[in-house]
Amino acid sequence: MAFFVPPVSEMYPYGLKKQTIVSVPELSRHHCGSSRPGHFDGVCTVVTKLFNLTQPDMAFFGEKDFQQLQIIRKMTADLCIAVRIKGVPIVRTESGLAMSSRNTYLDEIQLEKAPLLFQTLKNTAVELEKGNTNFPALELEAEEKLQHAGFISDYFNISNAMTLEPATADDRSLVILAAAWLGKTRLIDNIQVSLHQ
């Protein structure tokens, strides 16, 4: 096994402010892109540089950050980068909490509450599968449930899984994207929903 860990000075020899930026504006507009302006530009720029330096055949990105995964897929397609992007399924604890290094910042009480984020995603997915297309109402209900439990909701969005735009009643492939603060820890999660014709 080999590791490629270039120093910052090698990746950005002229500094970040003079760095060429790679941007995927269409998929970066909503969700984490709204909460963290410029974040995905930084991700796309460094990933493009790493792909150019290493020329991989395949690259693996976790599905927990679904928006980032879709952005990287579009970026490589648009820039004709010859690498296959593979999504890695979310790994969860027995309680359903998506595993993340951020979880170490949660205290015992917060760890007990944290799985509610995924449970709320699942409950919303069930409503969608039943045919409920009142997306704004479902989103509001979910956010209120999380806030009542002590979360500070960043967003809870039902979206088209390909475009990441707000879902419409005609969409069949959906993703529910959520981010919420629990104490000082920002948790993200998602669940994909395929609806029958």
Q: Which residue has the tokens 């998602």?
A: 190
Identify the sign of the CA torsion 154, 163, 24, 43: positive
Question: Quick one: pLDDT band at residue 128, thresholds 50, 70, 90?
Answer: very high
DSSP symbols for 46-106: HHHHHHHHH--SEEEEETTSHHHHHHHHHHHHHTT---EEEEEPPPB-TT-PBP-GGGGG-
Predicted confidence at residue 192, as pLDDT, reads: 98
Q: Which two tokens stand for residue 113?
A: 């509450």
Question: Quick one: pLDDT band at residue 2, thresholds 50, 70, 90?
Answer: confident
Give yes or no for residue 88 having a pLDDT over 90. Answer: yes
Give yes or no for residue 89 having a pLDDT over 90. Answer: yes
Secondary structure element (H or E) that encloses residue 122, with its range: helix 116-129
Q: Which two tokens stand for residue 121?
A: 């995603």
Predicted confidence at residue 16, as pLDDT, reads: 83
- Residue 83 identity (one-letter amino acid): V
Predicted confidence at residue 197, as pLDDT, reads: 66
What's the CA angle centered on 40, arms 21 and 17, to 5 degrees?
A: 35
Partners of 62 in the β-ladder: 88
Q: Quick one: DSSP state of residue 124?
A: H
Average pLDDT over residues 170-193: 97
- Domain spans, the chain: 8-88, 101-194
Phi, psi of 148 (to 5 degrees): -65, -30
Q: Which CATH architecture has domain 8-88?
A: 3-Layer(aba) Sandwich (3.40)
Q: Which CATH architecture has domain 101-194?
A: 2-Layer Sandwich (3.30)
The pLDDT > 70 percentage for the chain reads 99
Question: Quick one: pLDDT band at residue 23, thresholds 50, 70, 90?
Answer: very high
Helix, strand or coil, per DSSP, at residue 193: strand
Please report how many Cα atoms fall inside a 13 Å half-sphere around the Cα of residue 179, on the Cβ side: 17
